Amino acid sequence: MPPRFRFFALLTFLLVTVGSFAFAQDAERIEVVIELREFSFTVAGGEANAPIVFKAGQPYSVVFSNVGMMGHEVLVGRSVLVEDGVPDGYETNLLDALPVKVAGDDWEVGTSGFVEVELEPGQSVEIYFTLPTELIGTWEIGCFVPGHYQAGMKAAVIVE
Ligand SMILES: [Cu+2]
């Protein structure tokens, strides 16, 4: 397991054969850096919890970087699940049926989808994906560490 971050659970980040998907060349990708802190998601240089916009068909490299003081989770989906009165993830996850590639300093893996990642303070992860037009619409990014979502750690994600 890479030292820079850990996945919340194997179930949520299914690994498949490396190189089984075709991914865009670096030059085609747009890089988006999303900072996590108490209690917000912020595209670097933007406003806290402002909507995050992605264009369908455009290859992206998205870096999630925990610049806060606490551990945070990243989930992107819609229809919040509630367990015992507490928000606990999404019924539908934006990236869980897509090819998603994880980049690191010294490793890369292909995956069959991304549901969530947990980042300790100072940790970051970079993923590559291209959203198909079927996913156009309004989604949400949220942190479901107990209390964080309720504290406002969520933002709209718009695929257009
Ligand atoms: Cu959090």
CATH of the domain at 149: 2.60.40.420
pLDDT digits (tens, 9 = 90+) for 46-81: 999 999 999 999 999 999 999 999 999 999 999 999
How many angstroms is it from 105 CA to the middle of ligand 1?
24
Domain span at residue 147 reads: 10-159
Q: What are the angstrom distances between the C-alpha of 137 and each of 62, 78, 90, 158?
A: 19, 10, 15, 6
Spatial contact of 53 and 25, defined as CB atoms under 8 Å apart: no
Domain assignment of residue 55, yes or no: yes
Domain assignment present for residue 74? The answer is: yes
pLDDT in tens, 103-112: 765 445 555 6
Domains in the chain, number: 1
Helix or strand (DSSP H, E) at 160 = none
Q: Cα(153) to centroid of ligand 1, in Å?
A: 6
This prediction has a pTM of 0.83
Farthest-apart Cα atoms in the chain, separation: 46
Cα of 41 vs centre of ligand 1, distance in Å, is 9
Distance in Å, CA 143 to ligand 1 centroid: 5
CA 92–ligand 1 middle distance (angstroms): 19
Classify residue 2: in a domain, yes or no: no
- As a whole number of angstroms, the distance between CA 92 and CA 78 comes to 5
Asked whether residue 3 is domain-assigned, the answer is no
Domain-embedded: residue 4: no
